[in-house]
Amino acid sequence: MSLPKVRPDLRALEGYHSPQVSVDIRLNTNEAPGSPPAGFAEAVAQAARDTQWHRYPDRAATKLRTGIAQFHTAGGHNIDASQVFCANGSNEVLQTILLTYAGPGGTTLTFEPTYALHTHIARMVGANPVVAERGEDFALDLPVALAAIAEHKPAVTFLCSPNNPTGMVDSLETTKAVLDAVTDIGGLLVVDEAYGQFAPSTALDLLGEDVPMVVSRTYSKTWAMAGARLGYLVGPSEVVSELEKVVLPYHLDALKQAAGSAALNFLDDMDRRVSMITEQRGRVEAGLAELGATVWPSGANFVLFRPADGDGERVWQGLLDQSILIRNTSSWDRLDGCLRVTIGTPDENTAFLEAMKGL
């Protein structure tokens, strides 16, 4: 007897993961540096006590979607609940988009280096991912991007802003130019804003019911809820309706919906968290620059840098030896010698910078 073979196009595919190592200071996965407030934990506990566990959850996630729409409307973007799609982390949001608009044989377009799961998930659903290169400074090369869209006519084009792992933010003018090109070829533009609330601008300003663009967000970073695995997108209600046809029924459990709704009652806490992280980001950038590192400007909750001697492997191991874990990107395409550090608490950032001085 023998086990069945997996799909031929998946045989060489490796799973996406980052190291989970027991250390004193973990700055490798862009998590929030602290937990949500005690009031949030109690609200979720009360929701657990009130949940009718023998009943299926609200399939439409009505309360959660309404709350997210109100949150963005209060921020000046006039969003309706019908324009919000929620899922188990932004990765399931991306997967559902690709199943709906690309699928087997469909073409997707990314601009590297960028978030690896954009192409990884595309391959998983049987799509054909095409890659175009960013500029020497890792900013989006607009002429290259527009030429790639015109040539390949992708069903789905991805922009990641702030970009992971570089942290760079695309201007609204650049995003609009890409959107116009995507519109011309009848495609969909996905702007991945997992780190959007740390950035000075947002593609939400370009949304419209007749605009072929969606903006994806996550609760993992600014809301300090990585353990909940909750993400969403905002876009045309027609797109949301199509996604709802594809996603599995009752995919969003009752407690997760309640947690996402509860978080929206703690906006002041979220704002303080974002302010602290952006302030500390500047401190870490400055500290690394003083040590002679090459530092890329970041609009996210992390910083990409190359040590002065270019030996990322040595520095990464040296930090790990001191129980500090950051992301080793030195073997990634075009990121020779580079490392990515998540912004932690002030004390964690101090420990990181002091360790860097020693290295």
Same domain, 119 and 190: yes
Same domain, 22 and 139: no
Please check whether residue 171 is in contact with residue 201, taking contact to mean a CB–CB distance below 8 angstroms: yes
> Percentage of the chain with pLDDT > 70?
98
Q: How far apart are CA 36 and CA 265, in angstroms?
A: 11
Distances in whole angstroms, Cα of residue 47 to Cα of each of 32, 219, 262: 23, 18, 9
**Is 103 a member of any domain?**
yes
Q: What is the side-by-side order of every strand in the sheet holding 156-160? A: 84-87, 231-234, 213-218, 188-192, 156-160, 107-112, 128-133
The enclosing domain of 61 has a CATH number of 3.40.640.10
Q: How far apart are CA 248 and CA 250, in angstroms?
A: 6
pLDDT grade, residue 5 (50/70/90)? confident
Question: How much is the pLDDT for 18?
Answer: 67
pLDDT grade, residue 1 (50/70/90)? confident
Question: How much is the pLDDT for 212?
Answer: 98
Query: Which tokens go with 96?
Result: 């559902």
E strand intervals along the chain: 25-27, 84-87, 107-112, 128-133, 156-160, 188-192, 213-218, 231-234, 294-295, 302-306, 324-328, 339-342
Please check whether residue 140 is in contact with residue 171, taking contact to mean a CB–CB distance below 8 angstroms: no
**Is 179 a member of any domain?**
yes
Q: Which residue, chain included where needed, has tokens 């609204």? A: 172
Same domain, 322 and 290: yes
Dihedral angle over CA of 104, 125, 158, 117, nearest 10: -150
Boundary-marking domain end, from 234, 265, 296? 265
What is the residue-wise DSSP string for 59-118? TT-HHHHHHHHHHHHHTT----GGGEEEESHHHHHHHHHHHHHT-TT-EEEEEESS-THH
Q: How many domains does the chain have?
A: 2
CB atoms within 10 A of CB 71: 16
* Model confidence pLDDT, tens digit, residues 23-52: 999 999 999 999 999 999 999 999 999 999
Q: How far apart are CA 21 and CA 324, in angstroms?
A: 10
- 285: containing domain: 8-30+268-358
Q: How far apart are CA 240 and CA 191, in angstroms?
A: 15
The answer on pLDDT for 20 being more than 90 is no
**Is 239 a member of any domain?**
yes
Omega of the bond prior to 165 within 30 degrees of 0, cis? yes
Same domain, 58 and 158: yes
Q: How far apart are CA 197 and CA 199, in angstroms?
A: 5
Boundary-marking domain end, from 265, 293, 326? 265
Same domain, 346 and 247: no
The enclosing domain of 316 has a CATH number of 3.90.1150.10
* Model confidence pLDDT, tens digit, residues 78-106: 999 999 999 999 999 999 999 999 999 99
* Model confidence pLDDT, tens digit, residues 214-266: 999 999 999 999 999 999 999 999 999 999 999 999 999 999 999 999 999 99
